[in-house]
Amino acid sequence: MNKKVLILCTGNSCRSIIAEALINAKLDGIKAYSSGISPSGKVNPNAKKVLQNNGIWKDEYHSKKLDTLQNIKFDLVVTVCDNANETCPTFSKAVKKMHISFIDPDGKEFKEFEKTYIDIENILLPKVFDAL
């Protein structure tokens, strides 16, 4: 299939990183990237831990600005928080967009990161697959 998906959120430290990793690990033929509207510059340690616990962490995952991905032609852009949806940038090529908001686990207990992981896996992945 060879499709490219951008997962966009505000800080690119939790939800979008988890979604990127899940798509890359579980959806064949789809390559995910993530970015933040105002990237924090770091991956939340609990987001990294939940990905490590599930065996899908890669050192390439990091918080980044959208302009670092400007040369990639995306087939789908998914916003995973309301702020990113409201401030989603325009793209030079017409691209399909989807919004599915998840509660931000940042600052909460580790179990909230596990819940976010499960929610993204069960809700976002089937919708991304169907959209492509």
Tell me the catalytic residues.
9, 81, 88
The residues, any chain, with a CB within 8 Å of residue 10's CB and separated by 6 or more, are 36, 37, 38, 81, 83, 84
| Distance from chain centroid for Cα 93 | 20
Pairing of strands 76-79, 96-99: parallel
The DSSP symbol for 47 reads H
